[in-house]
Structure 1
Amino acid sequence: MASTDQKMSRMQLTAMVVGGMVGAGIFSLPRTFANATGPLGAVIAWLIAGTGMYMLARVFQSLAERKPDLDAGVFAYAKAGFGDYPGFLSAFGYWIGSCIGNVSYWVLIKSTLGAFFPVFGEGNTVVAIVVASVGIWLFHFMILRGIKQAAFINSVVTVAKIIPILVFIVLLAFAFKMDLFSANLYGGGLEGGIFEQVRATMLVTVFVFLGIEGASVYSRFAKERADVGKATILGFIGVTGLMVLVTMLPYAALQRADIAGMRQPSMAAVLEAVVGHWGAVFVSVGLIISVLGAYLAWSLICAEVLFTAAKTKDMPAIFARENANQVPANALWLSNIIVQLLVITTYFSNDAFALMLNLTSAMALIPYLFVAAYGFMISKRAETYELRPEERTRDLVMASVAVVYTVFMIYAGGLKFILLSAVLYAPGTLLYIWARREQNKTVFTVTDWVIFLVAVVGAVVGIYGLATGTITI
């Protein structure tokens, strides 16, 4: 456990939520949404995503208060509600998804630089990969010096990176043209109805909301347990407002088709079109600060999830060791080795940023589903509701909506990303087998065997699809 001087205030916990959520995704929203839909579809998408993620945030808040003994809640809830192997899958999925998300940050940074220095291309050239690799290990050794120091840096960066986003919103608000907004309303030129347009945005909305659980992951460092839930809600409300404005305002300044054709980060390209070249430079600098801050937050989260899973014997014991600065060093090493390998693979991807964005979202949905289902389970059977029983109906409704939302997100993502997720889940189970052998425990129950076999079949189909070109990356 952390010593007293490692404890985080509500403000620092909120900064972890904001720092995790405001990263690469928000800077890619204009083009990503314009490729899929117009303002009407965007409003519907944000209503669905905002409602679903708000309910999920409230489930996190409720569980943080009612199950204070479950630290690093993302996977701890899955284990408590559904057993050891589902708990492991939740921990592994959240951890590997976070690693993939960290890769997307490096790709976007290099793509941003590519607008000014062609040698970086779209973020997946050899030079881009080498520079990203240097960055990975610079952050690695900084974090090894101490979590409190890194958390303080994250708080400072969180404030710094919000400023360019606010400037973007203000300038676009002054450039608002109602006739353009009306012309773009139904996504003119796009095929398919509103439902298909909205569905095409769903994985993106999941990606930009990742980090909503940042305070929950760091619950063991909170000065006051109640601060975990409050930080989650505060961070969610603030960031959601920013993301909706960043998505909607470009439709009132430019034609949808023009926005859809811009390179990423499209927020920079939009501002350049409105105010000139300095706008692209301004947003690009803000993006690099933002993404580096988000990368720091998610590097901390990656190591913390793996470390806590090892502490509860869901991962091999080697990852439960801390260095003299109380940093989970072995967990951090494995996380960054995975990030390094994934950065190298981006060289072979047609659209590395989009692939990493969607795969990160797909990997996060299983852990989120377990959290929502566990919230539903304890409210349904009135567990812990001896205290404040009047909250049970409210919590049951919120958890039910969160379950429906996460199931819909998995459906909206499509079969491709389910199969790609299985390609990671099946071999990842080797870590679970290792941990169970260390403890001389039976590896699988009958139910666990069924889950494992489903993952293996999905992985085989996914690998076959990659080999034959049916699934493209």
Structure 2
Amino acid sequence: MTGSTQKLSLPTLTAMVVGSMVGAGVFSLPRNFAQATGVYGALVAWLIAGVGMLMLAFVFQTLAVRKPNLDAGVYAYAKAGFGEFPGFFSAFGYWASACVGNVSYWVLIKSTIGGVVPGFGEGNTLLAVAVSAVGVWAFHFMILRGVKEAAAINQIVTVAKLLPILLFIVIVAVALRADVFAENLWGGKEQSAGALFQQVKATMLVTVFVFLGVEGASVYSRYARRRTDVGRATVLGFLSVLALFASVTILSYGTLPRPELAQLRQPSMAGVLEAVVGPWGSVFIGIGLIISVLGAYLAWTLMAAEVLYVAAEDDDMPAFLKRENIHGTPVAALVMTSVLITAVLLTTLFSDDAFTFTLKLCSALSLIPYLLAAGYALKIATPGRRGREMVTAGLAVLYTAFLIFAAGLEFLLLSCIIYAPGTVLFVITRREHGRRVFSPAELALFVVTVVGAVLGIAGLATGLITI
């Protein structure tokens, strides 16, 4: 693990950040934004999301430099700032979020193919799930060959999947129709600040989903050749992706009237390009989507296994998760990751809208780890010489707290349904080391989580919460 052959360069780390964020979300942006708002609302939404996520990127940059001894980013920062049990929650939640997000990738791939092969349906048929499960384990055995090799493959895939997106931006920019763009400036008949606010609010969870993975380089901090490369890769990758997302969204308003954009089938980028260049545009984007999603799947699987491994190394997960193979890959953590992905895949057989179900659950599980990391940065920031760090961390805390508030109680309860049973791993770990299972404060947090899980299950049973 520590040999020079396992060290990752700045370009490779940056590719991990870009590869983590550029997945399924970018291909659905035209329709998702058109359903909520027009050009003005989209500009405001990307400004808010851009500033908020940039503050988070700065947080990870600062923590990577100030706390070089903390590996695996999100998990390590939560533990250092708020204790072992919140740290465990962050690690487990981040890992589960990555696994569920990976299932959404497989669903979208098979749904895209379903437009040509009916047997794949919307990505949740028996055939679709069976083929997806084969893909899960094919990636599993590839990653077993070594983290360095898998990261190198991810760098190549990242370049390959960016090409169709960049070509889309160029073609749509050249073909932009000024009259259509002007008609799409407002997101509805009411042209007021109040209406604009509601439209922007409706896009916030979309922007959160597409930015998941901004911490990609910090998760791999222990592999970096230089610790400063972690922060640089985070910010560089974020700014690059923000430019891509905003360009795809805004330029699409110059191709079709907003109501037509809102009715496009996903991936809506395909419909936009088809409207400009003809049928080959849809096929081209479909191929790009499959490459993009598979690349993002690889990046998230790597990060998920890494978080479990480092948590076990710190004695915050069961000891069996420390196991590595001869290539230095955390094999036990990877097996556990692939097993959960396969299990969630099976549940999509019983879901009416598998993609929406997995997207919501992924987002719900990711917000708490982000909030804890930002909170730790604020906790260690001091006035004066580090005043800028305090402002940055404070804004990141406000942004992530706002997202949790905007998401609503439903998302918190869905998270509790996952967190509560996952606590079994924490109990096993404490018993392995002959320690008391819970301190009074930890027990109180566990009880709150169990109550939330019970309420969440009751909500699902009664239909108050829908997935």
TM-score range, shorter chain: over 0.9
Report what 2:187 is aligned to. 187
1:189 Cα deviation (Å)? 6.4
Cα deviation digits, residues 26-67 of structure 1 (max 9, x gap): 111111111222222211111111001000100100000000
Report what 1:28 is aligned to. 28
Contact 1:94–1:363 under 8 Å retained in 2: yes
* Residues 1:444 and 2:438 aligned together: yes
The CA distance in 2 between the partners of 1:349 and 1:40, in whole Å, is 35
The CA distance in 1 between the partners of 2:284 and 2:326, in whole Å, is 40
Please identify runs of 4+ aligned residues in structure 1 that moved more than 6 A.
Answer: 189-192
Aligned mate of 2:395, from 398, 401, 406: 401
Aligned mate of 2:347, from 345, 348, 353: 345
Report what 1:297 is aligned to. 299
Contact 1:61–1:232 under 8 Å retained in 2: yes
Counterpart of 2:418, as a letter, is L
Contact 1:222–1:228 under 8 Å retained in 2: yes
Contact 1:13–1:215 under 8 Å retained in 2: yes
Counterpart of 2:258, as a letter, is R
Cα deviation digits, residues 287-315 of structure 1 (max 9, x gap): 11111111111110010001111111111
Report what 2:287 is aligned to. 285
Cα deviation digits, residues 84-135 of structure 1 (max 9, x gap): 0000000011000000110111011111111222221211111111111110
Counterpart of 2:219, as a letter, is V
Aligned mate of 1:226, from 223, 228, 235: 228
* Residues 1:62 and 2:66 aligned together: no
The CA distance in 1 between the partners of 2:346 and 2:463, in whole Å, is 20
The CA distance in 1 between the partners of 2:356 and 2:195, in whole Å, is 23
Count of residue pairs brought into register by the alignment: 465
The CA distance in 2 between the partners of 1:5 and 1:189, in whole Å, is 60
The CA distance in 1 between the partners of 2:318 and 2:370, in whole Å, is 23
1:194 Cα deviation (Å)? 2.2
Report what 1:46 is aligned to. 46
The CA distance in 1 between the partners of 2:230 and 2:250, in whole Å, is 31
Contact 1:203–1:362 under 8 Å retained in 2: no
Report what 1:428 is aligned to. 422
Counterpart of 1:325, as a letter, is H
Report what 1:143 is aligned to. 143
Comparing 81-90 with 197-206, which one deviates more in the overlay? 197-206
- Identity %, equivalent residues: 60
The CA distance in 1 between the partners of 2:298 and 2:87, in whole Å, is 25
Report what 2:3 is aligned to. 3
The CA distance in 2 between the partners of 1:200 and 1:118, in whole Å, is 32
Report what 1:269 is aligned to. 271
Contact 1:212–1:236 under 8 Å retained in 2: yes
Counting only pairs closer than 5 Å after superposition, residues 308-323 of structure 1 correspond to structure 2 as 308-323=310-325
Cα deviation digits, residues 328-380 of structure 1 (max 9, x gap): 00100011110001111112222222222222122111010011110000003
Comparing 182-191 with 406-415, which one deviates more in the overlay? 182-191
Give the secondary-structure state (helix, strand or coil) at the position aligned to 2:381: helix
The CA distance in 1 between the partners of 2:357 and 2:461, in whole Å, is 17
Give the secondary-structure state (helix, strand or coil) at the position aligned to 1:252: coil
Report what 2:210 is aligned to. 208
Cα deviation digits, residues 194-243 of structure 1 (max 9, x gap): 22222221122111111111110000000111100001111001010000
The CA distance in 2 between the partners of 1:331 and 1:168, in whole Å, is 38
Aligned mate of 1:253, from 241, 252, 255: 255
Counterpart of 1:326, as a letter, is G
RMSD: 1.4
Counterpart of 2:368, as a letter, is I
TM-score (norm 1): 0.96
Counterpart of 1:401, as a letter, is L
Where structure 1 has 5 or more consecutive residues not aligned to the other structure, the ranges are 383-388
Report what 1:386 is aligned to. none
Counterpart of 1:358, as a letter, is K
